[in-house]
Structure formats: structure tokens, C-alpha cells
Amino acid sequence: DVVMTQSPLSLPVTLGQPASISCRSSQSLVHSDGNTYLNWFQQRPGQSPRRLIYRVSNRDSGVPDRFSGSGSGTDFTLKISRVEAEDVGVYYCMQGTHWPRTFGQGTKVEIK
């Protein structure tokens, strides 16, 4: 199975400051169709997960543009340009290229 490794696992941030989460995969996530299926999810406290980013860098509908995704191959990053109070929660990456799908361990974002 593809192992997804996130860092850091805990990320205290100051409101208005940027934040960055890394996600590394144990194998390349480039699919045979040429796409790279790397997704990012946000799970606010007490809520269901919500997909923020698909195929590395595409924002889902309604996702604020302060969220951005980048990367290629096995190395990916989620960035929040200016953290707001509503961004508190746990962020997960998930690879959607190989079977079985696999999630990262999660990164808990909290306000300092």
C-alpha cells in the first residue's frame, strides 16, 4: 500500500500568518492517465471531512483562495496564505491514484 506521511502533525499558527503542511507518498502518484490524484481534506472539530483540493492544485467549489496546493510525484504541500479562526481543524492528504486509497495521519492546525 502507498504510505502517506504528513508533517508536521501539529501546527500552531498565529492568525493572519501563513501555514504550510507537507505530504509525502511512498510511491509516485502519477496515474497512467497522466493525472496526479492527490487530494486535501479539512475536518473542522465535530464536522465531517470536506475536500479542499483535488489533483494537487485544484480548489473545490466554495474553497477560499487562501488555500493552495502544489507539488508533484511524491512531494506535495498545502498552504494557507493567511490563517483565519475558521481554519482550525485537522487536515488530511489522500492519494487517489493507487488501490487501496490511503490517507495521511492528519495535521492538527490550531491558533497560538
Query: Given candidates 24, 50, 59, 98, which one binds another protein under the rule CB under 8 A?
Result: 50
Q: How many CA atoms lie within 13 A of 65 on its CB side?
A: 0
C-alpha cell recorded at residue 24? 509525502
Span interacting with another protein, options 11-19, 24-32, 47-55, 81-89, rule CB under 8 A:
47-55
Query: Cα(109)–Cα(112) distance, rounded to whole angstroms?
Result: 10
Strand, coil or helix: what is 85? helix
- Cα dihedral value 104, 40, 20, 71, nearest 10: 90
User: Smallest gap, in angstroms, from Cβ of residue 16 to another protein?
Assistant: 28
Number of residues counted as binding another protein (CB under 8 A) = 23
Q: Is residue 24 involved in binding another protein (CB under 8 A)? A: no
Query: Given candidates 60, 66, 77, 98, which one binds another protein under the rule CB under 8 A?
Result: 60
Query: Given candidates 34, 85, 100, 112, which one binds another protein under the rule CB under 8 A?
Result: 100
- Going by C-alpha positions, the residue among 13, 94, 90 that lies closest to residue 55 is 94
Site residues (vs another protein, CB under 8 A): 1, 37, 39, 41, 43, 48-51, 54, 60, 90, 92, 94, 96, 99-106
